[in-house]
Amino acid sequence: MDPEIFIAIFRQALWTVLILVCAVIIPSLLVGLVVAIFQAATSISEQTLSFLPRLMMTLTALGFGAHWGLNKLMEFFIQMIHQIPQVVG
């Protein structure tokens, strides 16, 4: 196996993971930022006020993005299956 092929596969795997993680984390981070600004402006230091909206946004992003994310993973897996002869031989 050539090192270039391994590097290309590894780069594509990392890119797929990065896209899938960012689709869930970025909306949660934005909601957390808005809640933190609200807490700083009103001097409210309630722990659940910062946790619950982020949790709800993460679950919502997972719910809406699960089909898309599964399709991305399946595309990556099928592409890896098609690359087996190139890697082995």
| Token code pair at residue 31 | 């909601």
Give yes or no for a contact between 87 and 5, defined as CB atoms under 8 angstroms apart: yes
Which phi-psi region, left, alpha or beta, contains residue 11 (left: φ > 0; alpha: ψ -120 to 50)?
alpha
Length, in residues, of the chain: 89
Please say if the pLDDT value at position 9 is more than 70: yes
pLDDT of residue 1: 65
pLDDT of residue 86: 83
Spatial CA neighbour of 29 closest among 4, 61, 3: 61
What pLDDT score was predicted for residue 88?
Answer: 84
> What is the share, in percent, of the chain residues with pLDDT greater than 90?
69
User: What local confidence, expressed as pLDDT, does residue 58 receive?
Assistant: 94
Query: What's the rounded mean pLDDT across residues 32-59?
Result: 89
Per-residue pLDDT of 57-88, as tens digits, reads 999 999 999 999 999 999 999 999 999 888 88
